[in-house]
Chains A and B, each alone.
Chain A
Amino acid sequence: AQSVTQLGSHVSVSEGALVLLRCNYSSSVPPYLFWYVQYPNQGLQLLLKYTTGATLVKGINGFEAEFKKSETSFHLTKPSAHMSDAAEYFCAVSDRNAGNMLTFGGGTRLMVKP
């Protein structure tokens, strides 16, 4: 069975500061990993994904994440936070042995202070 843990249900940063959202996963097979963002009253929008190849992946809105197998981590970062980044962020792992179902972490609500 796969699982995802996101450390910190709420993260608050100042505008212009580094954003770091943590994600650790457990998977019995090489994982496919995803970060999704959810703005209020909207669905889940894909930020970035890791499947194979380069371990540092870049996504939309200046976000990137690094897959570290030894640490079973896939942390999301952005060098400089913007007010529009305030949202809920979900890390997910895909189970290729079960129809590609996504297992999500509990989510991290990012707040950006002016």
Chain B
Amino acid sequence: EPEVTQTPSHQVTQMGQEVILRCVPISNHLYFYWYRQILGQKVEFLVSFYNNEISEKSEIFDDQFSVERPDGSNFTLKIRSTKLEDSAMYFCASTEGQFLAPQHFGDGTRLSIL
């Protein structure tokens, strides 16, 4: 069964550094999402992406965050200047349709900011 893949599985970065989290969605999917889960807290929506532009974003997704689909397969989340509070598990998800089709999640990238 096709799956969403995320790399790296664990990223350790110094505070203030830029980090790029990578995702390869399922090949025929058109809608892409990033979520994050701070340790011990809820999974929170960050951003949705369709047709090469952001569809929706949450309050968390401020100017430090950006997303990109640089080619036909990858979907990236960039954090420009990381803060300690960015430490979390980041999940990528994709779906073929917008509403009835469920979102398929990757295994996540654990981001640790030192």
User: Interface residues, chain A, CB within 8 Å of chain B?
Assistant: 32, 34, 36, 41-46, 49, 51, 90, 92, 94, 96, 98-107
Check A34–B106 contact: CB distance below 8 A. no
Q: Are B43 and A90 interface neighbours, CB within 8 A?
A: yes
Number of interface residues of B (CB under 8 A): 28
Additional 13 contacts, C-beta under 8 A, given A42-B107, A46-B102, A104-B43: A34-B102, A43-B105, A43-B108, A44-B91, A44-B93, A51-B99, A94-B99, A99-B31, A99-B56, A100-B98, A102-B45, A102-B93, A105-B42
Q: Is the interface of A mostly helix, strand, loop or mixed?
A: strand
Please tell me if the beta carbons of A36 and B105 are within 8 angstroms of each other in the complex.
yes
Of all chain A residues, the one with the shortest Cβ separation from B44 is A104
Contact with A along B28-67 (1 / 0, CB 8 A): 0001010100000111110010100001101000000000
Interface class of chain B by DSSP: strand
B113 at the interface (CB under 8 A from A): no
